[in-house]
Amino acid sequence: MKIHIGCDHAGFTLKELVKVSLSSQGHEVVDHGTFSEESTDYPEYAHATAGAVEEENGIGILICGSANGVCMTANKHQGVRAALCWNDEVAKLAREHNNANIICLPARFISVEEAHQMVHTFIHTPFEGGRHERRVSKIACA
């Protein structure tokens, strides 16, 4: 599976660990930055990642300190449904009920193990459709 990933400086270390894990599982990981722990502006990387997800109708991961900034930025893209996730159940429901296509992880508030589990759950959980399809179709602004 092709997975787009991006982060700011606060999410850099976690992003690198998630990339290694995903690559070892055979996934193609496209890294949209940042590429160091040097202070940077999260919207640059959130827009790059969200734009690629939107263009390819793909799936993505965004990471920053709280995940709020990258989530807000990504959700400005019409074809993106980014979900801020802090535990495995939230990650599962984001896919099942909301058809989220980007998971946003708060690097300062979760462990590496929690991040790996949430990413695994997120990328392997299908959208349920049904009654949820009607609701998801009402998200976009006309």
**Which residues are annotated as catalytic?**
64, 97
> Cα–chain-centroid distance for residue 11?
12
Bridge partner list, 83: 103
> Cα–chain-centroid distance for residue 77?
13
For the chain, strand residue ranges (E) read 2-7, 28-31, 59-64, 82-84, 102-106
Q: For residues 45 and 32, what is the distance between their CA atoms, to the nearest angstrom? A: 6
Q: For residues 81 and 100, what is the distance between their CA atoms, to the nearest angstrom? A: 5
Q: Which two tokens stand for residue 5?
A: 């990933």
